[in-house]
Structure formats: structure tokens, C-alpha cells
């Protein structure tokens, strides 16, 4: 009995524990009913600490910054006819001829210019000699004209004052002399007749004398007639014509002098200009000849460096291809002056060129690393570092980025090959982030907030400081704690 009393409390305790366990146990075959969500709550997101990173991928091209483009930079010769050229992929040494051009036409042009230079030189020498002679003779000729003009003026004055009156007077005197001679002959004949008429008989001698006297009278009449004609001719024809000629000679001499005074300086100036023109022409011929000779020298196209020959251009590692150039690299083909038709890519270290969209530009800082997966072997992973970033766009909305990479000596990668570049400019393994749609902006730009869900209460508006954005995620730097439940939409929507 005593032992039973001692064990009784223990038995009662086990019984109570067992009953209490039965009350809290759930039957195995009974399913738990799902909790009902508050219809006013809306969609939410629970903020937790998680890895947050900004990640993007770009296409890159391996390039050699020391590649040298090949072109023929002629200044005046544009006819570049090809005879032959080295093939695509040829290994060349510095100084080796890359292309052979036809020199026939340019050699003919150079020969013609040399002949032209000699002719223009001779023309210039003649013109300079004529100019020097003109500078000496022109003043002499002007003085001679002035002297002649003075003589003509003096002759005209003398003609007017002396010669013309003398000629008129001489005509009158000549006529008077002829008249007097006739009168003397007639008077002599008259006297002889009177003397011989007194005698009854006329002797033969007297007859002869009378005949001579009569003949003298006839001659005197003839001379008088000629004197009258001569006087009329002198006064009406010879003297007026001589006067006109003298006047015209004087006017012509004066006009010649005035004209010469004007034309001599002009003629001298024209000759000076002709000399200058010939000098300029000679300089142009010399320059053209020198340019052609320089162009001809440039048509011997040596390799600027040793390396691999690519037909076409290599722009930031991207090869243009040779399809458009191959037909023109054969005999009979042509290339244009200053056209880049070959590129020599040397051996050695390569770099990578990529194009970054403007949205990634702020993250492309010098020293940023990227994972490189070359197209030739996508399983190969390498590291590259951002070296240079072009702040000036190389295309609308895109900026050029040069990346440094170290390759093994036996690497199969060559300039012109491509790769995928994976960038992770930001990584935070303990970040708080929210969906982009759960972050709202105040009316004042730069201020943001979220709505925190509170059970049985109105959502709380909380100001936050956002950080990096990546896709649909936004990192939160201040204003939230892990475990907070935020609304994905504004209350009431």
C-alpha cells in the first residue's frame, strides 16, 4: 500500500503528459488547410540579403595595334595598273616588294615634262633678254620720236613761213619771166622788121635773122604757155597738196609720239608679265615633274614591317575581306591612289577591341577585368583588362574599348579572330535589392521610396537610397532591412 502511494504521482504525471500530447498532435490522415491571403495585401516581395551583380556580354575582336596599312599615296598620278601582287596570307619581310605596277605611262609623262621644261627654259631666256633690251631701247626710241616730232614741227613752220610763199612767188616770177621773154622777143622781131622794111631788098642774112627772131617769139610764147600752166599747177595743186602733207605729217608725228609714250610702258609691262608667266610655268613644270618622280618612287611598294599579308583593311581587328580586291590584284587590274589595299600584321602580343553601348560606358573603367572566351575554342577561358576607352562615340550610341590580354607563345589565336567578353563591373554578395517595379520616384527628381506591407495596417511609405541597377533588379543602399516585405505595386492598384 505504501509503495502504491509513492508511485501514484508518477502515474498521474505520465497520464497528463500523454493527454496533452494527444491534444497537440494532428491525425496522419487529416490535411492542413491552406492559409487564406489578405485580399487587400496585394503582391509583395520579401527583402533578403543575396548576391547582386551587374553583368553584361560584348563581342570582341583580336587585333594587333602595330599592324601597318599599305597604300600608294600619289599626289598627281592616278593611273595605277597592276602587273602582279603577293597573295593573301603571304609571310613577308620588311622591304619586300608587295605589288608590281606598270610604269610605262608615267615614264612617258615624265619624259614629256622634261622636254617641256627645256623648252620653257629657252623661252624664258629669250623673253628675259628681250625685256632687258626693251628697257634699254625704249627710252632711246621715245627720244628719237620726240626729236623727229620736233623736226616735223620745224619743217611745217618753215614751210608755212618760207617755202610756201617762196613757191608761190617763184610761180609768179617764172610766169613773169616767160612773159618778159616773149615781150623781148616780139619787140626784137618788131624792130628787126622795121629796120629791114626800110630797105627795098632783103638780103639772105637779114632773112635768117628774122626767122630766128620769129622762132624766138614762138619759143617765148610756148614757154609762156608752160609757165602759166606751171603756175596754175603750183598754186592750185602742188602747193595745196604739199601743205596738206606737211600738216598731216606733223599731226601724225605728234600722234605717234603720244601713242608711243602710252604704249611703251604697256609693252614693257606686257613683256614683264610674259616673263613672270614663263617663270611660273617653269616652276609648275618643275613641280609637276618632281611630283611625278616622287609618285613613281612611291609606286615601288615595299613591306613597311615583317608579318602576314592581308588583302584589304584591318579596322580594329576586323578584316574587310579580299573578295573585292582579288580581281584587281591580277594583271590588268587597277587600284586607286591612297586606297588601302593591303595590311601587314606582325607577330607578337595582341589586344582586343570591343564596342561598348552607351549604357555600359560608365562601368568601362580602366583596369576592369573581363572573362574572354575565344570563338576558336569556347571552352578556353582567359582574362583581359580594359586599357583605353573612347569617350567620343565611334558610332551612334557606341564607344570603342581596347583591352589588354597576354597570350601564350604557342597560342592559336591570331589577329582578326573573335571572342565573347563577359564583364562583371559590380558584385555584392550581401546586397539588399528590390524589383525595379517596386521602387517609386518622388515628384522631386532623385528621391525614391517603397511601400512596406504591415499586417492589418496601412502600408508604410519608406524613403530609400537606390544603388546599381541590373536588369529588373535595383540595389538598395539605405532605408530597408532584410526581412522587410514590400509591395510590388502602389496601394490601391
How high is the pLDDT of residue 32?
A: 41
What cell numbers appear for 448 in the block? Answer: 525614391
3-state secondary structure of 405: coil
Q: Could you tell me which of 441, 369, 380 has the C-alpha nearest to residue 407?
A: 380
Provide the CA 162 distance to its chain's centre, in angstroms: 80
Q: What is the pLDDT of residue 202?
A: 54
Find out if CATH 2.102.10.10 is the number for domain 66-101+299-347.
Answer: no
Residue 374 or residue 206, greater confidence: 374
Give tens-digit pLDDT for 150-174: 988 888 888 888 888 888 888 888 8
Best CA proximity match to 129, nearest among 141, 140, 137: 137
pLDDT digits (tens, 9 = 90+) for 407-420: 988 889 999 999 99
Take residue 455 and report the three cell numbers written for it: 499586417
Question: Is the pLDDT score of 18 beyond 60?
Answer: no
**Which pLDDT band holds residue 470 (cuts at 50, 70, 90)?**
confident
* Tens-digit pLDDT profile for residues 78-89: 989 999 999 999
Q: What is the pLDDT of residue 29?
A: 39
Task: Summarize pLDDT for 198-236 with one digit per residue, the tens.
Answer: 665 556 777 777 778 778 888 888 887 888 888 888 888
Using alpha carbons, select from 261, 333, 276, 25 the residue that is nearest to residue 127: 276
The pLDDT assigned to 283 comes to 96
pLDDT for 38 equals 55
With contact defined as beta carbons under 8 Å apart, do 414 and 408 qualify? no
Query: Which pLDDT band, with edges at 50, 70 and 90, does 345 fall under?
Result: very high
Residue with cell 628681250: 130
Task: Give CA–CA dist 303/100, Å, rounded.
Answer: 12
Mean pLDDT within 321-350: 93
pLDDT > 90 in the chain, percent: 53
pLDDT tens profile 424-454:
999 999 999 999 999 999 888 889 999 999 8
Could you give the CA distance from residue 430 to residue 432 in angstroms, rounded to a whole number? 7
Query: For a pLDDT cut of 70, what percent of the chain falls above it?
Result: 90
Q: What is the pLDDT of residues 396-405, one digit of tens each?
A: 999 999 999 9
pLDDT at 36 over 70: no
Instruction: Determine the pLDDT at residue 108.
Output: 96
CA 459 to chain centre: 69
Q: What is residue 22's predicted lDDT score, i.e. its pLDDT?
A: 39
Q: Report whether pLDDT(46) > 70.
A: yes
Q: For residue 239, what pLDDT is reported?
A: 82
- Contact present, 464 and 26 (Cβ < 8 Å): no
pLDDT value of residue 92: 96
Cα separation, 51 vs 54, whole angstroms? 10
List the CATH code of the domain at 38-64+348-493.
Answer: 2.40.30.170
Residue 16: is its pLDDT beyond 60? no
Compute the mean pLDDT over every residue in the chain, rounded to the nearest whole number. 86
Under the banding of pLDDT at 50, 70 and 90, the label for residue 10 is very low
Mean pLDDT across 379-391: 94
Output the pTM of the full model. Answer: 0.60
Amino acid at each position: 500500500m505504501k509503495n502504491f502511494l509513492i508511485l501514484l504521482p508518477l502515474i498521474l504525471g505520465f497520464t497528463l503528459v500523454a493527454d496533452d500530447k494527444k491534444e497537440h498532435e494532428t491525425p496522419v490522415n487529416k490535411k492542413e488547410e491552406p492559409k487564406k491571403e489578405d485580399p487587400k495585401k496585394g503582391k509583395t516581395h520579401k527583402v533578403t540579403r543575396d548576391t547582386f551583380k551587374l553583368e553584361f556580354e560584348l563581342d570582341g575582336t583580336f587585333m594587333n595595334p602595330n599592324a601597318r596599312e599599305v597604300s600608294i599615296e600619289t599626289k598627281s598620278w592616278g593611273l595605277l595598273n597592276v602587273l602582279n601582287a603577293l597573295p593573301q596570307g603571304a609571310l613577308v619581310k620588311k622591304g619586300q616588294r608587295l605589288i608590281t605596277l606598270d610604269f610605262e605611262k608615267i615614264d612617258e609623262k615624265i619624259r614629256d615634262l622634261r622636254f617641256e621644261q627645256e623648252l620653257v627654259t629657252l623661252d624664258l631666256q629669250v623673253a628675259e633678254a628681250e625685256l632687258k633690251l626693251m628697257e634699254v631701247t625704249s627710252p632711246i626710241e621715245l627720244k628719237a620720236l620726240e626729236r623727229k616730232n620736233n623736226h616735223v614741227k620745224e619743217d611745217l613752220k618753215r614751210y608755212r613761213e618760207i617755202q610756201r610763199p617762196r613757191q608761190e612767188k617763184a610761180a609768179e616770177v617764172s610766169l613773169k619771166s616767160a612773159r618778159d621773154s616773149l615781150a623781148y622777143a616780139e619787140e626784137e622781131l618788131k624792130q628787126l622788121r622795121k629796120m629791114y622794111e626800110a630797105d627795098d631788098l632783103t638780103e639772105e642774112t637779114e632773112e635768117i635773122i628774122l626767122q630766128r627772131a620769129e622762132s624766138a617769139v614762138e619759143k617765148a610764147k610756148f614757154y609762156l604757155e608752160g609757165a602759166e600752166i606751171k603756175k596754175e599747177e603750183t598754186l592750185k595743186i602742188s602747193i595745196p597738196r604739199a601743205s596738206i602733207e606737211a600738216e598731216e605729217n606733223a599731226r601724225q608725228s605728234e600722234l605717234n609720239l603720244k601713242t608711243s609714250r602710252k604704249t611703251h610702258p604697256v609693252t614693257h609691262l606686257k613683256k614683264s608679265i610674259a616673263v613672270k608667266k614663263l617663270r611660273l610655268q617653269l616652276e609648275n613644270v618643275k613641280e609637276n615633274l618632281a611630283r611625278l618622280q616622287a609618285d613613281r618612287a612611291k609606286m615601288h611598294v615595299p613591306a613597311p614591317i615583317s608579318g602576314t599579308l592581308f588583302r584589304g583593311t584591318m579596322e580594329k581587328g576586323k578584316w574587310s575581306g579580299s573578295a573585292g580586291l582579288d580581281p584587281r590584284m591580277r594583271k590588268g587590274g587597277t587600284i586607286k591612289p591612297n586606297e588601302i589595299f593591303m595590311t601587314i600584321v606582325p607577330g607578337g602580343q595582341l589586344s582586343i577591341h570591343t564596342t561598348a553601348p552607351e549604357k555600359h560606358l560608365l562601368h568601362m573603367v580602366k583596369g576592369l577585368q573581363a572573362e574572354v572566351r575565344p570563338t576558336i575554342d569556347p571552352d578556353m577561358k582567359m582574362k583581359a583588362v580594359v586599357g583605353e576607352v573612347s569617350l567620343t562615340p565611334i558610332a551612334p550610341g557606341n564607344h570603342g574599348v581596347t583591352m589588354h590580354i597576354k597570350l601564350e607563345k604557342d597560342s592559336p589565336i591570331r589577329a582578326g579572330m573573335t571572342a565573347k567578353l563577359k564583364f562583371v563591373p559590380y558584385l555584392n554578395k550581401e546586397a539588399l535589392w528590390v524589383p525595379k517595379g517596386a521602387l517609386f520616384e518622388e515628384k522631386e527628381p532623385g528621391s525614391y521610396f517603397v511601400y512596406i506591407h504591415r499586417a492589418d495596417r496601412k502600408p508604410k511609405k519608406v524613403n530609400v537610397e537606390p544603388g546599381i541597377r541590373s536588369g529588373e533588379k535595383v540595389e538598395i543602399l539605405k532605408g530597408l532591412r532584410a526581412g522587410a516585405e514590400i509591395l510590388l505595386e502602389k496601394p490601391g492598384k
